Structure 1
Amino acid sequence: MPSPVTWTQYRATIGDRTPLFAALAEAFEIHRALYLGSYVDLAPSTAIEDVTYVDLDRRAARFFADEDLVRAELVRGGSPAPAAPPVPAPRVRFLAADFTQGVDAPQASMDLLISLFTVPAWEACRRYLRPGGYLLANASHGEASLAALDPALTLVAAVEHRDGRYRLVREGLERYLVPKRPEHANAEHIRATGRGIAYTRPAFGYLFRSD
């Protein structure tokens, strides 16, 4: 059997997201997270003490099944921002599951749902988020665009990503999520196209609070 793909290898293609999760952990009360469509991105566990990863990819299942490899990857690759010290012994759990059908997690138990570059997960997994918890999403596959239309969610930060650096923007949020074509800002159109709508000021991602 070939060696499993590693976080180090994957990070070389997507970039290092550890500063993003360090910034989130520092700015918000995040102790437990559910990462939907995670593949092998261990970045959240460098800053969040309890993370459940969910994916159907067999390569992800092989990676997470090797606990020694996962621990070694976290030691070798964890480099969060200085403001958020490394988590000493993070709890890492992996579920090989189709999250659109629900996952094995207690309801209202998560501080953060992570949905980046995957099919929309909010509707299927909102029950796992505690009241006042957060959804981190981007416009890929329409997740952030659908979230922006949900009255139960409030935008509390935009995630800017430039020159390899992440920055949380918490002021002037009215500049974000403004559709270039307002007629496309409806759930039917977004679901039919399977992608997010274009905004006048795009961002890497968006953080919503569940009201």
Structure 2
Amino acid sequence: MPESWATYRRSIGDRSPLFAAIAAAWPCDRALYPGSYLDLSPSAAIRSVTYVDTDRRAARFFGDRARVDAELAEAGVDAAAREVRFLHADYTDELPVDEASVDLLISLFAGPVSDHCRRYLRPGGMLLANTSHGDASLAALHPDWMLVAAVHHRDGRYRLDTSDLDRCLVPKKPADADPGLIRERGRGVAYTRSAFAYVFRLTESAGTSDRIGPG
């Protein structure tokens, strides 16, 4: 059987509850998911999602709209009410996406997505990022991003924690909290309190510059 969201979930689990929680907490009508691979889970909760990946397996899966609709239906989602768009592209290049047009930018295990795709997020929009390749750590160091929640994952369940945020993103080694070093190493900072991911809000006064971190 060709690889699909169903097969991918066996290795990463189902992230649909995570996106349901985010969509319930903040306005999320449109999302952009660079480096998505086969993860269709945002479409379980968000009306319009644009997926971006260079992998041919992702292109085959998303190119089979009947398969995509069937897997959404299996998850209890009305596929007719969802806009699923796939771009077989490198997110570090310019994408055919309007600037300031999406409510949620997703950056999970895919590199410094927000460095290149911030332009597509509207002011006041949300960034979901983890520290795997440094994106959450870069956002934590720039004043245009405001931390609004930590995402915890345990026993297949996701929880958004909006309390005690001043205790989050505290580096174990302060010297590691350097944007240039994070980009050079390609990984995030180790923090005194860990989380699966973090949600940041792009401030209303922020511009659309690609680079979010100093240096």
Query: Same fold by TM-score, threshold 0.5 exceeded?
Result: yes
Cα displacement (A) at 1:189 = 1.2
Matching residue's letter, 2:38: V
Provide the C-alpha distance between the structure 1 equivalents of 2:80 and 2:158, rounded to a whole number of angstroms: 23
Contact 2:72–2:79 (8 Å) recurs in 1:
no
Is the 1:134–1:209 Cα contact (8 Å) retained in structure 2?
A: yes
The correspondence of residues 102-141 of structure 1 with structure 2, limited to 5 A, is 102-141=94-133
Q: Does 1:210 align with 2:202?
A: yes
Q: Structure 2 matches for 1:1-211, cutoff 5 A?
A: 3-78=1-76, 89-211=81-203
Q: Deviations over 1:19-52 (max 9, x none)?
A: 0000000010000000010001010001000000
Q: Give percent identity, aligned residues only.
A: 61
Whether the 8 Å CA contact 2:69–2:79 is kept in 1: the answer is no
AA aligned to 2:41 is A
Q: What is the DSSP-based 3-state SS (H/G/I as helix, E as strand, rest coil) of the residue aligned with 1:29?
A: coil
Q: 1:102 deviation in Å?
A: 2.2
Asked whether the equivalents of residues 43 and 78 of structure 1 are also in contact (C-alpha less than 8 Å), the reply is no
- State the AA in 1 paired with 2:47: E
User: Paired residue for 1:83?
Assistant: none
Aligned-pair CA distance for 1:115: 0.5
RMSD: 1.2
Q: Distance in 1 between matches of 2:2 and 2:79?
A: 24
Structure 1: which 5+ runs fail to align?
80-85
CA–CA distance in structure 1, aligned partners of residues 79 and 199 of structure 2:
22
TM-score scaled by length of structure 2: 0.92
Aligned length: 203
- Residue type of the alignment partner of 1:139: T
Q: Aligned equivalents of 2:149 and 2:79: distance in 1?
A: 23
Matched AA of 2:42: P
